[in-house]
Chain A
Amino acid sequence: GESVGLHLPTLSVQEGDNSIINCAYSNSASDYFIWYKQESGKGPQFIIDIRSNMDKRQGQRVTVLLNKTVKHLSLQIAATQPGDSAVYFCAENEGAGRRALTFGSGTRLQVQP
């Protein structure tokens, strides 16, 4: 079936720099997207979400961009901090009445001091 995937398995950035984590999705029917952060030994933690009728949404230090033309999603983290080190997952709701999220395989963000 169609699934969500990520371009880079590991991203290493310097503290204070901006980070960009990318995600490609293939189901054009998906109408809701969400980013989660997962630290070791913990469950995924919500970061930010976006519906398909938007192309940008901002939170505290985070921005999600949605490009439906090329089916691409990105998470931007401003002024990356050591506490941002974790695995980041994008997930989609594939619409058609489905209530479950489909997750990609994750990108590990490593913040160098």
Chain B
Amino acid sequence: DTGVSQNPRHKITKRGQNVTFRCDPISEHNRLYWYRQTLGQGPEFLTYFQNEAQLEKSRLLSDRFSAERPKGSFSTLEIQRTEQGDSAMYLCASTEDGGREKLFFGSGTQLSVL
């Protein structure tokens, strides 16, 4: 499968714990995006990378959230001191550079904070 891969698919955690998600984009794609989606809503933009540079962050990305893409390939999204309001599907997407905005999404990581 050469699509966008996300791990884990599901994560259940207790409030206050830290969690980390991983995204492996399509190999030739140098732009990588993180979105969050709650039930019945469209995905909400969190942040994006061009290669290893984090170029834009949404105001939704509080200081408890941090994303990295150290070598310009895979990316991690960490949430510290999780809250029940963080429960959502976290989606990763990638695309080629060169002005193309068509994003290819992974299947997401479903986070449940108890």
Contacts and interface: CB of A to CB of B under 8 A. Distances in A.
Contacts of A45: 105
B21 interface: no
A101 B101 contact: yes
A100 interface: yes
Given A43-B4, A43-B108, A89 B42 contact: yes
Nearest to B106: A43
Contacts of A105: 40-42
A41 B108 CA distance: 8
Sort chain B's interface into a size bin.
20 to 34
Contacts of A34: 101-102
B107 A42 contact: yes
A91 interface: yes
Given A105-B40, A106-B40, A41 B107 contact: yes
A106 B31 contact: no
Interface string B47-89: 0101000011000000000000000000000000000000000
B105 A43 contact: yes
A91 B44 CA distance: 11
Interface string A75-93: 0000000000000010101
Nearest to A98: B56
Contacts of A99: 31, 48, 50, 55-56, 101
B103 interface: yes
B45 A44 contact: no
Interface in B1-35: 4, 31, 33, 35
Contact of A49 (B33, B55, B102, B105): B102
Given A99-B48, A99-B101, A43 B42 contact: no
